[in-house]
Amino acid sequence: MLKRTLLVFCLALVPTIAQAQAQVQDSYLPSKSQFYFRFDGMTSHQAAYAKTAMGKMMQGDMGKFLEELWKFTEANLKVAAEKEPQIVPLLTDFTKLVSTMHSHGVVVGLSVESVNPPMAQMVLVFPKGATESGTLLPLIQKVAENTGVKVEREKVGKRLISQVSVPFVNLAWWAQGEDAILYIGTAGAVAYAKDIDAKKTGLAKNPMYQKAVGFKEFQTVSRGFFDVASVLKLGASVAPPVGDVINELGLNGLKSIVFVSGFDGAVERSVVDIDMPSPRKGLLALTSQKKITLKDLPILPDDINGFSASSVNLNKSYDILVNTAEGVVRVFAPNEADNIKEFIKAFEGAVGVDINKDIFGSFGEMMVSYSSPSDGFLGTGAVVAVKIKDSKKLAKSIEKLASAVPANPGGKVEAKRVAYLGGEVIHLKMEGMASSHLATFGIYKDWFIYAQYPQPVKGFIMRQEGKLPAWKPDAVTAKALAVLPKEFTGVQVSDPRPTMKMLLSLAPVVLNMVNAAASPFVPGFRPFDIDLIPHALEATMDIFPNVTITIDDGKRIRTDTRGSILLPF
């Protein structure tokens, strides 16, 4: 009974101890960091990771395959480097460093206080990197020795700081307890180390940092922030025109981006929060807070690899883009700004199309994109579909715009409209000496469709007519969608399984060719045992589609992703 009580007590202490260690390492970073990122490493999250789909996959043949592939790559890199003996120890230390980072993580802080004169600091902390297994410090030392640069050393407290100075930049490294610190900055590293001792560094008081480390919705493995407002202010300080351009683009008022990722049962989670200005102007005015649901989507292909849908102010985009461009031009050439609208007006008069009303005014507020193997090979069947208000006006306007393109030596651009199953397919072609297909548009009820070739457009129309099978979320995808809001401003579903299956199906052929080509000609070459390559279906049996939901409440844009394989974290 006592043993069980002590075990429970120890397990309860693990998150507290890990959090305390994180706060210590984060305290080494510049206090005014505009960018912060921390990856904890997998050692402290192994139990949670093992429950995820990715963790289960790595416990099977896929894990053995990737481990062997790493050893194969490492061994043959050393073979290739044997003619340069000094490189082999560097490769050994580098691979150990990568392993240490995977196990114990890395912490990064970047602070830029001034552009002119340049004042910047970047600090990287490698937990356990000062131990013999970490090898960061010996690796840097060997690189310095091999390059012949002069390394100066100075003791600060109990630590020995090694540093190399080049014009405008100081590079330094030292052991901070069991951790290794790599410093790159315009100021001296000795002074920075003294600031650490004086507790003048660290992010504890930063609200964005507090938000990132205080996130509790799931167990986080990595977290960070980007201080957008500070960076924009810094950019504006470079020269008055830069600040004016930032203002015209509507970026003023952007505050911060805070992001976290981690594990939540079988799924990997990632959340990104962007603080937005209110009201929005410039390019930010293109975003829309209009809610959509899965029922608003068109019928999608049953073999779809992924799709995205979002609400967007396309019907207002003409005014937004033209006014923004006019404002930016006025910053640099005030006398030329009015010429933009005059040029557009003259062009509209020549072709008989009001671009704002006839083109952009015909669009609605939802855009959908997807691709499927049946529509085209390797993404050539990608489709973009946009809700429209007036299909007839839009089709005539496209035809007029195409006819306005002047003839050239290759021929004349023409738009040919063909009726198809209650809709219309518009072929944009070059007719003449260099006859070729340029693009395809489609109109079907309240949808405008774009694709490179006609087949995906026809496929879209056939699915709406019920003549082709439709996509339905499988049980796992439906479960992921069920826990998310029913209304959102954006949704994205991507399935990693087709790509994984294709790569694993090609792996035996590719690696066997590598073995056959290299073995006779590369002394010491270590062939890969293709028997270790897993069957594609076995490797992906636990994998399921990734789902991302975006919510825009006017003050904040939040994306929440739940999936089986989220890269890079």
Q: Which tokens belong to 521?
A: 């000609």
pLDDT confidence of residue 399 = 80
pLDDT confidence of residue 132 = 66
Q: Is the pLDDT of residue 343 over 90?
A: no
**Beta carbons within 8 Å of 510's beta carbon, 6+ residues apart:** none
**Residue 307 and residue 470 in contact, taking contact as beta carbons nearer than 8 Å:** no
Q: Which tokens belong to 145?
A: 């020795």
**Are both 562 and 499 inside the same structural domain?**
yes
**Are both 344 and 452 inside the same structural domain?**
yes
d(CA 300, CA 369) in angstroms, rounded, equals: 10
Residue bearing tokens 């003449």? 432
Asked if residue 171 belongs to a domain, the reply is no
Mean pLDDT within 349-365: 82
Q: Is the pLDDT of residue 4 over 90?
A: no
Q: Is the dihedral of CA 228, 233, 239, 242 positive or negative?
A: positive
**Are both 387 and 328 inside the same structural domain?**
yes
| DSSP strand pairing (423-431 vs 436-444) | antiparallel
**Residue 377 and residue 392 in contact, taking contact as beta carbons nearer than 8 Å:** no
| b/e map 450-465, b = 16+ CB within 10 Å | bbbbbebbbbbbbbbe
- For the chain, how are helix, strand and coil distributed in percent, rounded to 5? 45, 25, 30
d(CA 372, CA 420) in angstroms, rounded, equals: 21
**Residue 464 and residue 268 in contact, taking contact as beta carbons nearer than 8 Å:** no
> Residue 441 — pLDDT band, cuts 50, 70, 90?
very high
Backbone angles phi, psi at 379, to 5 degrees: 85, -5
**Are both 369 and 226 inside the same structural domain?**
no
**Are both 242 and 299 inside the same structural domain?**
no
Mean pLDDT within 181-206: 93
d(CA 412, CA 214) in angstroms, rounded, equals: 61
19-51 pLDDT, tens digit per residue, is 444 578 999 999 999 999 999 999 999 999 999
Which of 12-26, 272-286, 333-347 holds the top average pLDDT?
272-286
pLDDT confidence of residue 458 = 96
Asked if residue 20 belongs to a domain, the reply is no
**Are both 332 and 377 inside the same structural domain?**
yes
Q: Which is more confidently placed, 53 or 13?
A: 53
Asked if residue 116 belongs to a domain, the reply is no
Backbone angles phi, psi at 67, to 5 degrees: -65, -45
* Amino acid identity at 530: I
* pLDDT above 70 coverage of the chain, percent: 94
3-state secondary structure of 528: coil
Q: Is the pLDDT of residue 459 over 90?
A: yes
pLDDT confidence of residue 67 = 93
Lowest mean pLDDT among 114-123, 212-221, 256-265, 402-411: 402-411
Lowest mean pLDDT among 6-20, 208-222, 335-349, 408-422: 6-20
462-516 pLDDT, tens digit per residue, is 999 999 999 988 887 787 788 888 899 999 999 898 889 999 999 999 999 999 9
> Residue 6 — pLDDT band, cuts 50, 70, 90?
very low
pLDDT confidence of residue 133 = 67
Element (H, E) at 390: none
**Are both 217 and 72 inside the same structural domain?**
yes
pLDDT confidence of residue 548 = 93
Q: Which is more confidently placed, 239 or 209?
A: 209
Of 446, 469, 492, which one is at a domain's C-terminal end? 469
pLDDT confidence of residue 220 = 95
Asked if residue 301 belongs to a domain, the reply is yes
**Are both 234 and 323 inside the same structural domain?**
no
DSSP E strand stretches across 138-256: 152-156, 159-166, 169-176, 179-185, 219-226
Of 469, 504, 527, which one is at a domain's C-terminal end? 469
Backbone angles phi, psi at 69, to 5 degrees: -65, -35
**Are both 310 and 456 inside the same structural domain?**
yes
Q: Which tokens belong to 467?
A: 């003549």
Backbone angles phi, psi at 143, to 5 degrees: -60, -45
Q: Is the pLDDT of residue 15 over 70?
A: no
Asked if residue 214 belongs to a domain, the reply is yes
Mean pLDDT within 149-153: 85
Q: Which is more confidently placed, 390 or 162?
A: 162
Q: Is the pLDDT of residue 434 over 70?
A: no
pLDDT confidence of residue 213 = 95
Structural domain span for residue 349: 281-469
**Are both 526 and 544 inside the same structural domain?**
yes
How does the average pLDDT of the chain come out, rounded? 86
DSSP string, 257-305: EEEEEEEETTEEEEEEEEE--SS--GGGGGB----B-GGGSPP-BTT-S
pLDDT confidence of residue 2 = 34
Asked if residue 300 belongs to a domain, the reply is yes
Asked if residue 152 belongs to a domain, the reply is no
Please give the tally of structural domains in the chain: 2
**Residue 375 and residue 383 in contact, taking contact as beta carbons nearer than 8 Å:** yes
Of the candidates 558, 405, 532, the residue with the CA atom closest to the CA atom of residue 66: 532
Of 469, 487, 513, which one is at a domain's C-terminal end? 469
Q: Is the pLDDT of residue 198 over 80?
A: yes
Mean pLDDT within 550-558: 93
Mean pLDDT within 80-92: 74
**Residue 485 and residue 562 in contact, taking contact as beta carbons nearer than 8 Å:** no
**Residue 465 and residue 495 in contact, taking contact as beta carbons nearer than 8 Å:** no
The CA-based angle 493-495-499, given to 5 degrees, is: 145
pLDDT confidence of residue 433 = 57
pLDDT confidence of residue 29 = 97
**Beta carbons within 8 Å of 431's beta carbon, 6+ residues apart:** 411, 412, 413, 414
Q: Which is more confidently placed, 445 or 414?
A: 445
**Are both 342 and 234 inside the same structural domain?**
no
Q: How far is CA 271 from the centre of its chain?
A: 12
Does the bond joining 240 to the residue before it have cis omega, within 30 degrees of 0? no
**Are both 267 and 290 inside the same structural domain?**
no
Q: Is the pLDDT of residue 264 over 90?
A: yes
Asked if residue 99 belongs to a domain, the reply is no
> Residue 339 — pLDDT band, cuts 50, 70, 90?
confident
pLDDT confidence of residue 487 = 92
| Cα dihedral 323→329→333→339 (10° resolution) | -50
pLDDT confidence of residue 556 = 94
Of the candidates 126, 145, 144, the residue with the CA atom closest to the CA atom of residue 136: 126
Mean pLDDT within 289-303: 93
126-148 pLDDT, tens digit per residue, is 998 888 666 778 777 777 777 77
- Angle of helix 240-248 relative to helix 228-238, nearest 10 degrees, comes to 130
